[in-house]
Amino acid sequence: MDIIFQSGEFSGQDSSIWTNLISIFSALLGAVISGVIAIWIFKRGISEQLQKEANTQKERFEELESYFFNIIEFMNLTINQQVAEIANTSQALKDFSNKNPALTTTSALSTDDAESINNQDLYKIFVISRTGNIEEKANDLLNIKSCFRYIDQQKRVYKEFNNTLFMGLEEYRLNWNQNLKILLNFYNEFGLKSSRHNTNIDSDKFLLFYKEIMVDKQREIIANESLNNMESAHKYLIEPLKKYIKESKIMDDRILAIITPVMNCDQAFIETKNLKLQKRKDVLRFGRNLLGVKRLLNECVNNNKKRKTNYNN
């Protein structure tokens, strides 16, 4: 019997193992590659999303910054308008012919728009996203907020100023008018008294003088618009009466009668003049302070503009 040897009789089993190993390795390698690619795509997506968010945030803060700077520019104009009103009031307080020397408050004098910006956003704009010394940056921001507080207080301050001015002027005006009326009525009273005693009015030096001052001169003052005020009345009516009283050697009942109302008118004028002077000093101080606040506000804002920005931080 012939024995036949078949070459490779057992090689099929080894080939199958290697094939399986290669398939498994290929599958694992494909999975790894797919995973790496997926992770890369995911990270790239995250990176792009973060960059997109960063760009959106940068645009937002740049818009807020521009909006804030525009508010400051408008605030500068408003402060200039208020300072002009203060100057007008100062002149009005000097003029006794001006019946209404009250301080007008510019309606636009407000920091509402600036204060509507979130404090954290302002901190981001002025401190975090700016180069430079952090204490200097923070100090500029604090100064700006302090300027805002001062500006917001002005409406209340001006209102109190007007209230005290009006109440003081009204009190002194009433005192003046009441006593001036008494002095005017005295002329009729003195004339009637002279008639009862059959006194020759033309020879009554006091009555002639009193008529010249309290009737003739007063009519002249009333007819002249530029003279129709307390200051002129004090100069042409009260001062001559004060001088007459001081120089009189004989004090008759009529002179004694006019002393109190003359002194009351004189006191009302002095108090009015002093109040106007004090209020003028106050209103000029308001103007100086407001201009000082404007300078500080712009200095801090300009410091901020000079610093480089990085809104990606």
Segment 61-72, tens digit of pLDDT = 888 888 999 999
258 within domain boundaries? yes
Q: Residue 20: what pLDDT?
A: 64
Q: How many CB atoms lie within 10 A of CB 212?
A: 12
Q: Which residues pair with 228 in a beta bridge?
A: none
Q: Residue 194: what pLDDT?
A: 66
12 within domain boundaries? no
C-alpha pair distances (Å), 234 with each of 150, 206, 226: 40, 19, 14
Q: Residue 100: what pLDDT?
A: 84
Enclosing domain of residue 82: 46-306
188 within domain boundaries? yes
70 within domain boundaries? yes
> Residues 297, 72: contact at Cβ < 8 Å?
yes
1 within domain boundaries? no
Task: Report the half-sphere exposure of 231 (CA within 13 A, side-chain side).
Answer: 13
311 within domain boundaries? no
Q: Can you list the alpha helix ranges (DSSP code H) found in 95-133?
A: 112-115, 119-123
Residues 6 or more apart whose Cβ sits within 8 Å of residue 174: none
Of 294, 301, 296, 303, nearest to 77 by C-alpha is 294
Domain total of the chain: 1
168 within domain boundaries? yes
Q: Which residues pair with 309 in a beta bridge?
A: 130
Name the stretches of the chain with pLDDT < 70: 1-18, 20-56, 194-202, 311-313
Q: How many CB atoms lie within 10 A of CB 201?
A: 12
Helices 11-94 and 253-306 meet at what angle, rounded to 10? 160
209 within domain boundaries? yes
